[in-house]
Chains A and B, each alone.
Chain A
Amino acid sequence: MSSLPTTTQAFSARFTGVAIGLHWLIAVAIVGSFSVGLYMVDLPLSPQKLKLYSWHKWAGVTIFLFVMLRLVWRLSHRPPEMPAGMPAWQRKAAEATHVMLYLLMLAVPLSGWLMSSAKGFQTVWFGVLPLPDLLDKNKELGDLLQEVHELLNFGMAALVIAHLGAALKHHFIDRDDVLARMLPFLARTTGDIK
């Protein structure tokens, strides 16, 4: 999948091709559907709005499934070790951020699905596969779940910014391989970039 490793050491220090692929696929999908979600919510009702809502919901279901796949992969494939010189608090922070991100990547689409059911709009994946409605239509609950969906999203956005900031800090300040090993086009483990 990825280009040939120059040394075995470089190979073992990188994430697997599947992990890298899933990471970036999900990253792009999350940024995309987050933006669509922010944009669509205040639009006046129109066919375009209905389309955006459907696409947003299809994306959410798809992301959920890819995250499940990614979790299975993550649990069956040990990620590379963190850099040796990393302080304990940073390791803990990194660990916690990753756990929270995984939880939110599942909780955000779940809350959206439940919210849709409570608002009386079933989710029909790609317009073909209807997901069951676990909740009956209930306006108050729907409004509450919308708040929950929003809060989870802003929580996730904050974590993503922290995650991104940490990756850039590792790359440009610590000059270690933390970012490089998750990049598909950087096979080397050193921090230098052309």
Chain B
Amino acid sequence: MKYRLFGPAFAGALLSVAPAAHAIEFNQFQAGKSALSFVSKQMNVPVEGQFKSFRSKIAFDPAKPAAARAELEIDLASIDAGSKDANDEVAGKAWFNTKEFPVAKFIATSVKPLGSNRFELAGKMTIKGRTQDLTTPVTLRQEGNSASFEGSLVLKRADYALGEGMWADFGTVANEVQVKFRLVATAAAAATPTKK
């Protein structure tokens, strides 16, 4: 499959820089193709939401996953928490306090290959001034020049003081929030013969 698709290019690359032939690095983040959504449970009712604005810096070479770098910045004010009431509420101090903490940030610290295009991504997540270690499985789907990193994880809102005061009780809004992400990055045009 790979050979059939990339046959001629591969042969050409081989002639010029043989060791770097595999070195395709996905590092051009594609905001329009990426998505960041979540499902919270309110009185055991799943309620879907999403963030519309976020940026990522990705540098991922499938041949060298351990050297991958990834950062994600989320504009918390871009939340759609399911209704206008909810959007107004979660911007407030009890939740994200977006005035003081407008951005949530994730910085990857390690990437471990798990085989068959699956990886374990570990990093530091900072929301509302609280930083927590976070680990999530990621599935890579590569289509030619484009790679999509997909995964889902459970985030505990209390770890980041999301929902303080009257919201602190998990009886109404559950502590566990299911987060789903899809980050798409393409390889830069001149990816093959770059550095290292």
Contacts and interface: CB of A to CB of B under 8 A. Distances in A.
Interface of A: 45-47, 50-51, 53-54, 119-124, 127-128
Contacts of A128: 44
Nearest to B168: A47
Contacts, number: 40
A127 B89 contact: no
B85 A54 contact: no
Interface of B: 42-48, 82-83, 85-86, 88-89, 166-167, 169, 171-173
Nearest to B46: A122
Given A47-B173, A50-B172, A127 B167 contact: no
Given A45-B89, A47-B172, A54 B83 contact: no
A54 B43 contact: yes
Nearest to A53: B43
B44 A127 contact: yes
Given A50-B43, A124-B45, 4 more contacts: A46-B166, A47-B166, A50-B173, A119-B83
A47 to B, nearest CB: 4
B83 A120 contact: yes
22 contacts: A45-B89, A46-B166, A47-B166, A47-B169, A50-B42, A50-B173, A51-B43, A51-B172, A53-B43, A54-B43, A120-B47, A120-B83, A121-B45, A121-B47, A121-B82, A121-B83, A122-B46, A124-B43, A124-B45, A127-B44, A127-B45, A128-B44
